[in-house]
Structure 1
Amino acid sequence: MLSIIEQIKQGKLWDFHGGIHPAENKLLSSKQPIKAAGIPSELVLPLKQHIGSRGDIIVNIGDHVLKGQPLTQGDIAMCVPIHAPSSGTITAIEQRTTAHPSGLTDLSIVISTDNQDTWCRGTQYPDYQDRDPAELIEAIRLAGIAGLGGAGFPTARKLQGGLGNVDILIINAAECEPYITADDRLMQDYADEVIEGIRILRHIIAPKLTIIGIEDNKPDAIKALEACVSEDDNILIRVIPTKYPSGSSKQLVKILTGREVPSQARSTSIGVIMQNVGTAFAIKRAIVDGEPLIERVVTLTGEAFKERGNVFALLGTPIAYLLEKFGYQADKKYPRVIIGGSLMGFTLPHANVPITKITNCILTPKRKELPLHTYEMACIRCSACADACPSSLLPQQLQWYAKDKNYEKCEEYNLSDCIECGACAYVCPSEIPLVQYYRQAKAEIWERKQDEMSAERARQRFEAKQQRMERDKAERENRFAKAATDRRQQMATTGGDDAVAAAIARVKAKQAAATDTAPAAVKPAVAAAIAKAKARQAASTSEANAVPDNSEMAALRKQRKLQAREQKAAKHAELMQQQTGTEQPAEQVTDKKDAVAAAVARAKARKAAQQQQATSAVEPTAEVNTDVASDPKKAAVAAAVARAKARKAAQQAPSTPAAEATDEVNANVESDPKKAAVAAAVARAKARKAAQQVPSTPAAEATDEVNANVESDPKKAAVAAAVARAKARKAAQQEQATAAAEPTPEVNTDVASDPKKAAVAAAVARAKARKAAQQEQATAATEPTDEVNANVASDPKKAAVAAAVARAKARKAAQQEQATAVAEPTDEVNANVESDSKKAAVAAAVARAKARKAAQQINKVQPNIEEE
């Protein structure tokens, strides 16, 4: 059986799966020889124009550079430098748009050319046959040569991987992409230099066989190569059928050798290395002439170009410069500038994009020449894409997974083997841009892998840091332990003690000395204070353990109860006298009582006049118990309590107006001003609570007689007094409504002797007159008001409720009186009051002052109420 090399020499060819035969359109640009594109005013050189890492910038803004001068440098095989395509000045180092489908930017060096084109040639190796291959590979790397077929893989790195591992060298001259004729014209015009570059590659790799694979649609190039190849070169020119994409690396290897490159592997793994025709030409220029890669052949084609052909364009030349120079006339409706061919190329976002090492064609088609894709339609599962795929993939499934972002499935279906030839999209009847989906999925997969690699590096660095810290900690502990051991041994050898132990002993000695001297330092004043504190603490402890003696308080409480009983009997007799109309003995009324009574009467009269002007309601003024006159303080307290109750009742019952009762104050509270204040406060609180519990349901309460049982408690007495005042007001309103003559009861002849007594008697008479008028006006009411159940007095709460109800009824009667526009009766004031107006005014002022003072005492006494 013949070997692969023997079969190749005999002219055997193989075929690959799939492939298409699109329109070539190569005659548009292959008729004219290559010419120079010229030197633009500005060159933009992206730092990364190849597969791998970018180099480090070794120039600065403002530097003047020469043609061929390196601008970057790198020490690894996957990093190739870039050089100045022409002499000029560096004006900027910034981000510029690069030749990418997404219009991405990259850091670029901008050179403003000087049109001098001054050279800075590198090292030349005209005797390359005598040089070591490693030296030539390094020279190729320093010249910045990368694959010019479109992939941009660093040539030096590929040659290093093929040393001693390959037996077949393939020169790719197929150029299967429609419209592109750069390699065709290069072989026609510079065939001798291309063959010389192939000889250099053969010297470096030393293969058993060298093959030039070229399609049969390039007869002129085939003749030119055959004319330059001799029998000693051992170079085979193999013409292959025209089929797209036969120019792809894996497909050309399959056609020429019958070997298949494994998935995710390179051709060197099967003993084959491949280089492009343009790469061989650049290698010859770099090794023999000392010229780095600063220009390449670019095809300018498409009906929008007035001058079509191939040009030597400097790297970094803006595409806009070429469009303007060669007569670009954009299509009116759909102007397009495509980098690459019609199948593998992509449309630029704008024309300010530079030429790079992998730019081989600029296509400017018109709308009729290269129709635009219409709208993407649904896949009809025709399997035409799978039949055309040269890599034997399943484009339909890959498109689904890529669209669904299921990148694990994409890798499972070998998306990385896709060469992005566009054959699947070319034959798709639904016009699905399959290659775009694949490119996006590849970019996403690559980015995820980079993130995983970064995370793995970070994890390794973190673990290394943790190990280093633990190692340092262990070394430090060992160092300290060794130092302590050495110190103890040294102290033991010299007969001394441990320095640390000695220091601890000294500290303890100082503390003991301080403790011994502390008692002597205490001052006598401090010692006395400490002794007092201890004695006080002992006294408080003994008091806490002793049994309290309440005998004194019990005796006082018993005495107060006896006094209360005596006062109840006396007040009951006085109350009976007032109810029966019996005149009060004049000798029991003192000057102080008379003054207080007169002041109270004047205050009530003034208040009634104010209320009559604002609300036309009558403020009745009832009798004031003469017993409160025994002490001016008690009288002031009683007056203040009455006024406070009136205001509180008006605020709590806005919708149920009640007349404020202010007739009598229980005399039982007179024995002590504190008791009076307590009784008044308790009465107000119970009245307020009762008013809240019964706001809208006033119950009929009798108000004629009060059970004598209320006298046992000052609170009950206050409630009874409030009920009596309400009855008096109601009677006055009834009497006024019926327009009856105002009765004026007899005034005690004893009061005539004093103007103050006369004023009090007059006020009492007016109050009774209003009460009679109110009772007569409300005769239609069914609410009984005759008698008050004596049981009410047995409970302070019930008494408070009764008082609140009575006040509400009185206020309601006052409003009725206002509606009927009944005039308020005004009685005659006893002329005796007028006998001395100055005394009355003085007495009123004194009474008001005492009332204010009593109110202040009430506020002070209230928190310390003691119930009996």
Structure 2
Amino acid sequence: MLSIIEQIKQGQLWDFHGGIHPEENKTISNQAAIQQAGIPSQLVLPLKQHIGGKGDILVSVGDVVLKGQPLTQGNIAMCVPVHAPTSGRITAIEPRTVAHPSGLTDLCIVIESDGEDRWVEDRTPIDDFSSVDPIDLIERIRQSGISGMGGAGFPTSRKIQSGIGKAEMLIINAAECEPYITADDRLMREHAEEIIDGIKILQHILTPKVCIIAIEDNKPEAVKALNQAVTDHDNIIIRVIPTKYPSGGSRQLTKIITGQEVPANGRSTDIGVIVQNVGTVFAIKRAICDAEPLIERIVTLTGNSMSTPGNLWVRLGTCIDYLMELVGYKADKKHPRIIMGGSLMGFTLPHQQVPITKITNCIITPDKKELPLYNHEMACIRCSSCADACPTSLLPQQLYWYSKSEDYDKCNEYNLNDCIECGACAYVCPSEIPLVQYYRQAKSEIYSRKQDALAAERAKLRFEEKNARLERDKLERENKFKQAAENRRKEMKTENKGGDDAIAAAIARVKAQKAAQESGVAAPKPAVAAAIARAKAKQAEAAKSETSVPDNSEMAKLREERKQQARERKAKLAEETTATDSDKSEKKDAVAAAIARAKARKAAQAEEKTETPVASEEKNQNTEGSADPKKAAVAAAIARAKARKAAQAEEKTETPVTSEEKNQNTEGSADPKKAAVAAAIARAKARKAAQAEEKTETPVASEEKNQNTEGSADPKKAAVAAAIARAKARKAAQAEEKTETPVTSEEKNQNTEGSADPKKAAVAAAIARAKARKATQAEEKTETPVTSEEKNQNTEESADPKKAAVAAAIARAKARKAAQENNKKEE
């Protein structure tokens, strides 16, 4: 039996299930040679133009780039970089509409071309690729950004790498089975030799047993050009296959050439076959031999709405509107349409600002007659035409029901992922059901759920690993603590013989603490418990050694410490109590002093008002102030003490006080009420003596009065001055009594009665003061008034209370002298 390779060399071909024969419409664009589309003013380059992930951006807005300069880089196998198609400046990196059936946006790099088209300087072509390691060639292909250009967009480097050591057959897909598309046809006609060079590079990398170029029989010019480029020693077979759609699919082409089926959810490399598109082979040759990355490709521009259809070399990133101007596109007024891709597998673009990518091979602008505009979906009639046309032997009718009802488990069960979305089922459907749209939507949802499940699984694994790590850490800590405890036990046993007793003591302490916590009794301090344990341990040692007297030194020290702490606590409590008592006594003394000062101020105010009569307010204050005998006695005692000190100081410079005066002072101090009455009488007599002096001498200046009045601003000083004045007044009164008539019985009775009642005595004293003031006012009218200069002096001197008090004392001394002289004259 001949092998598959021998059968292939003999021209054996096979067929695949299903397939259709739509109208080709290739002659519209394959009659003219490939033209250059030129360089547009702006290029929009999507970061993702292949199957896989996006690369990392290497440029930023404002950078100047050169032709062939990489704009992104990829460090994973399923990622290929994007290069600058021309020189210019980066104007934006932003989302733009991309070539996708959804019409959504994706991140793009926008280049404003400068028109110079300058290449990068570090280009290094490889002249002899046969001397280069295949791994280095694969890396060069990956860095050149080459992906499948037949429409799938699978990274070429990844596909080649997966076929090393596995691929026995290399199949070059030149079928180009879809209607309207002629890009590969024109490429093979004009660049057959370069395509053969690219095949030789792949042969050097993969080392297959045979290489087959599969081309449909509707391209005779391309077959002729390839036959001229291939020589006998190239080990390349050109195999012409029947025209049938979709014979250009990877699975279908493998079945036609080898007769083998690619397994479900598998790849052609699983059966030793690797398939590459003819456009991809040409790009490999450019990358290796010319050091040109993938920056342009051939695009078929066709359709009845174009005036000059054909094939153009188009820079990647060129927008559709720029190409439409080149081919003279005339849009239909009612229903303009631009389809990217073939008539069966393509999709309608939302607008003309969509860029050309690496997988764009055709742009169709049909009119209303060329392709039907609307599909009026009707109910499925279960004719099974879709199943008969399916090239992958699926059941499109079942998949349609499950996709529409969102039963994705059933979709997977019926191998929805094996659908190549060729559109043959929708093409033959009499109900005009857009089956491919349902399949695409179901595939997207399945993929999204699969990604969510993978993310959840990764999160679950991370959670389980975290818990396992925490458990390991916990066990390590426990083992560490156990080992440390064991080491301590060993050390205690080696240090002393009674180590077992110490361990037992420690266990006992722990148990005692637990029992204390349960019973609510406070456990002893650690130091105390340790001392007790040590004492017990020593007692146990002594008992073992049969010693009669145990060592209680530790217990004695512990008792002494407790006693010392108790003594300190008692001393602290005593200090706090003493401080509290002293604070209370200080508060009481302060209250008493404040009361005395207030009463002194009231008395001083009553004395100082000599010009106007006593107001009813002063009388009320005097009456209320005398209502409390105890407080009045306290204030009088303080005043008498201060008066005595002042009197002693004056006696040194003046005549000594007679024994009679001393007795009176002593007696007056014995009774507080009598002292208050005597003080009032003394004040009245002092005022009389002052009036007498004013008749013969210069009247007392208003300066002294003002000083006295303002000197009372300080209550304490005013009280002292008042006490001194009362004492001196009493002395002057005693001197006058010797020369004048004795006090009448009426006055004595009044004094006696006044002394019996403090309130009456205060009232009498106030009446006497009022009479004295009236007499003074009467005398001042006849005497010379006080000058304005003296008043000013009084006002200035009254600013200082001390000076005012001194001036008042001097005035009182002069008054006494004047009284004594008057007494002598009368005698």
Q: TM-score interval w.r.t. the shorter chain?
A: 0.5 to 0.7
Distance (Å, rounded) in 2 between the aligned partners of 1:511 and 1:271:
95
2:68 pairs with 1:68: yes
Query: Which position in structure 2 is the counterpart of 1:8?
Result: 8
Question: Does the CA-based 8 Å contact 1:122-1:292 persist in structure 2?
Answer: no
Question: Does the CA-based 8 Å contact 1:196-1:284 persist in structure 2?
Answer: yes
Distance (Å, rounded) in 1 between the aligned partners of 2:130 and 2:295:
25
Distance (Å, rounded) in 2 between the aligned partners of 1:323 and 1:511:
105
- Cα offset, 1:295, TM superposition: 0.8
Q: Which moved more, 1:479-488 or 1:143-152?
A: 479-488
- Cα offset, 1:122, TM superposition: 3.4
Distance (Å, rounded) in 2 between the aligned partners of 1:503 and 1:124:
87
- Cα offset, 1:482, TM superposition: 4.6
Query: Which position in structure 2 is the counterpart of 1:83?
Result: 83
Query: Which position in structure 2 is the counterpart of 1:300?
Result: 301
1:237-386 equivalent positions in 2, closer than 5 A: 237-386=238-387
* SS of aligned partner of 1:391: coil
Computed over aligned residues only, the root mean square deviation of the Cα atoms, in angstroms, reads 2.6
- Cα offset, 1:330, TM superposition: 0.8
* SS of aligned partner of 2:298: strand
- Cα offset, 1:404, TM superposition: 0.3
Distance (Å, rounded) in 2 between the aligned partners of 1:168 and 1:447:
35
- Cα offset, 1:470, TM superposition: 2.3
Letter in 1 for 2:195: V
Q: Label 1:521 to 1:355 Cα distance change in 2 as closer, same or farther (>3 A).
A: same
Letter in 2 for 1:475: E
Distance (Å, rounded) in 1 between the aligned partners of 2:16 and 2:140:
36
- Cα offset, 1:471, TM superposition: 2.2
Query: Which position in structure 2 is the counterpart of 1:623?
Result: none
Q: Label 1:42 to 1:512 Cα distance change in 2 as closer, same or farther (>3 A).
A: farther
Query: Which position in structure 1 is the counterpart of 2:107?
Result: 107
Query: Which position in structure 2 is the counterpart of 1:46?
Result: 46
Distance (Å, rounded) in 2 between the aligned partners of 1:35 and 1:446:
40
Identify the match of residue 505 of structure 1 among 508, 527, 545.
527
Distance (Å, rounded) in 2 between the aligned partners of 1:284 and 1:512:
103
Question: Does the CA-based 8 Å contact 1:216-1:240 persist in structure 2?
Answer: yes
Q: Label 1:179 to 1:513 Cα distance change in 2 as closer, same or farther (>3 A).
A: farther
Query: Which position in structure 1 is the counterpart of 2:31?
Result: 31
Distance (Å, rounded) in 2 between the aligned partners of 1:95 and 1:477:
56
Distance (Å, rounded) in 2 between the aligned partners of 1:374 and 1:124:
52
- Cα offset, 1:350, TM superposition: 1.4
Distance (Å, rounded) in 2 between the aligned partners of 1:211 and 1:471:
59
Question: Does the CA-based 8 Å contact 2:375-2:433 persist in structure 1?
Answer: no
Letter in 2 for 1:432: I
Query: Which position in structure 2 is the counterpart of 1:736?
Result: none
Query: Which position in structure 1 is the counterpart of 2:654?
Result: none
Deviations 1:500-525 (A, max 9, x none): 99992169878886567656755699
Query: Which position in structure 2 is the counterpart of 1:451?
Result: 452
Distance (Å, rounded) in 2 between the aligned partners of 1:217 and 1:33:
18
Query: Which position in structure 2 is the counterpart of 1:59?
Result: 59
- Cα offset, 1:388, TM superposition: 0.6
Deviations 1:716-746 (A, max 9, x none): xxxxxxxxxxxxxxxxxxxxxxxxxxxxxxx
Q: Label 1:504 to 1:9 Cα distance change in 2 as closer, same or farther (>3 A).
A: same
Letter in 2 for 1:206: T
Distance (Å, rounded) in 1 between the aligned partners of 2:55 and 2:379:
46
Distance (Å, rounded) in 1 between the aligned partners of 2:306 and 2:181:
14
* SS of aligned partner of 1:275: strand
Letter in 2 for 1:505: A
Q: Label 1:524 to 1:165 Cα distance change in 2 as closer, same or farther (>3 A).
A: closer
- Cα offset, 1:324, TM superposition: 2.2
Distance (Å, rounded) in 1 between the aligned partners of 2:564 and 2:339:
97
- Cα offset, 1:439, TM superposition: 0.3
Query: Which position in structure 2 is the counterpart of 1:119?
Result: 119
* SS of aligned partner of 1:59: coil
- Cα offset, 1:492, TM superposition: 7.5
Distance (Å, rounded) in 2 between the aligned partners of 1:189 and 1:458:
54
Q: Label 1:249 to 1:488 Cα distance change in 2 as closer, same or farther (>3 A).
A: same
1:392-791 equivalent positions in 2, closer than 5 A: 392-482=393-483, 504-505=526-527, 518=569
* SS of aligned partner of 2:159: helix
Deviations 1:242-286 (A, max 9, x none): 100000010011111111111111001111110000000000000
* SS of aligned partner of 2:239: strand
Letter in 2 for 1:51: I
Q: Label 1:515 to 1:306 Cα distance change in 2 as closer, same or farther (>3 A).
A: farther
2:183 pairs with 1:182: yes
- Cα offset, 1:118, TM superposition: 0.8
Query: Which position in structure 2 is the counterpart of 1:192?
Result: 193
Distance (Å, rounded) in 2 between the aligned partners of 1:513 and 1:184:
112
- Cα offset, 1:491, TM superposition: 7.6
* SS of aligned partner of 1:224: helix
Query: Which position in structure 1 is the counterpart of 2:596?
Result: none
Distance (Å, rounded) in 2 between the aligned partners of 1:479 and 1:78:
48
Q: Label 1:516 to 1:334 Cα distance change in 2 as closer, same or farther (>3 A).
A: farther
Question: Does the CA-based 8 Å contact 2:55-2:80 persist in structure 1?
Answer: yes
Distance (Å, rounded) in 2 between the aligned partners of 1:225 and 1:470:
68
Q: Label 1:276 to 1:492 Cα distance change in 2 as closer, same or farther (>3 A).
A: same
* SS of aligned partner of 2:354: coil
Query: Which position in structure 2 is the counterpart of 1:22?
Result: 22
Distance (Å, rounded) in 2 between the aligned partners of 1:403 and 1:511:
90
- Cα offset, 1:462, TM superposition: 1.2
Query: Which position in structure 2 is the counterpart of 1:865?
Result: none
Query: Which position in structure 2 is the counterpart of 1:723?
Result: none
Deviations 1:783-803 (A, max 9, x none): xxxxxxxxxxxxxxxxxxxxx
Letter in 2 for 1:42: Q
Structure 2, unpaired ranges of 5+: 510-523, 531-557, 579-827
Letter in 2 for 1:125: I
Letter in 1 for 2:327: F
Structure 1, unpaired ranges of 5+: 528-868
Aligned residues: 527
- Cα offset, 1:493, TM superposition: 6.9
Distance (Å, rounded) in 2 between the aligned partners of 1:474 and 1:62:
58
Question: Does the CA-based 8 Å contact 1:373-1:431 persist in structure 2?
Answer: no
- Cα offset, 1:42, TM superposition: 1.4
Query: Which position in structure 1 is the counterpart of 2:210?
Result: 209
Letter in 1 for 2:359: I
* SS of aligned partner of 2:356: coil
Letter in 1 for 2:129: Y
Query: Which position in structure 1 is the counterpart of 2:755?
Result: none
* SS of aligned partner of 1:431: coil
Distance (Å, rounded) in 2 between the aligned partners of 1:433 and 1:353:
24
Deviations 1:444-483 (A, max 9, x none): 0011111111111111111111222222333344445555
Q: Label 1:134 to 1:513 Cα distance change in 2 as closer, same or farther (>3 A).
A: farther
* SS of aligned partner of 2:314: strand
* SS of aligned partner of 2:322: helix
Letter in 2 for 1:90: I
Deviations 1:87-132 (A, max 9, x none): 1111221111111111122111111111111112533221101111
TM-score, normalised via structure 2 length: 0.61
* SS of aligned partner of 2:118: coil
Letter in 1 for 2:526: I
Distance (Å, rounded) in 2 between the aligned partners of 1:223 and 1:146:
27
Distance (Å, rounded) in 2 between the aligned partners of 1:524 and 1:358:
98
Question: Does the CA-based 8 Å contact 2:185-2:222 persist in structure 1?
Answer: yes
Distance (Å, rounded) in 2 between the aligned partners of 1:479 and 1:73:
49
Distance (Å, rounded) in 1 between the aligned partners of 2:267 and 2:302:
32
Deviations 1:114-163 (A, max 9, x none): 11111125332211011111111111111111110000111111111111
Q: Label 1:487 to 1:435 Cα distance change in 2 as closer, same or farther (>3 A).
A: same
- Cα offset, 1:304, TM superposition: 1.4
TM-score, normalised via structure 1 length: 0.58
* SS of aligned partner of 1:401: helix
Question: Does the CA-based 8 Å contact 1:96-1:106 persist in structure 2?
Answer: yes
Query: Which position in structure 2 is the counterpart of 1:93?
Result: 93
Q: Label 1:369 to 1:43 Cα distance change in 2 as closer, same or farther (>3 A).
A: same
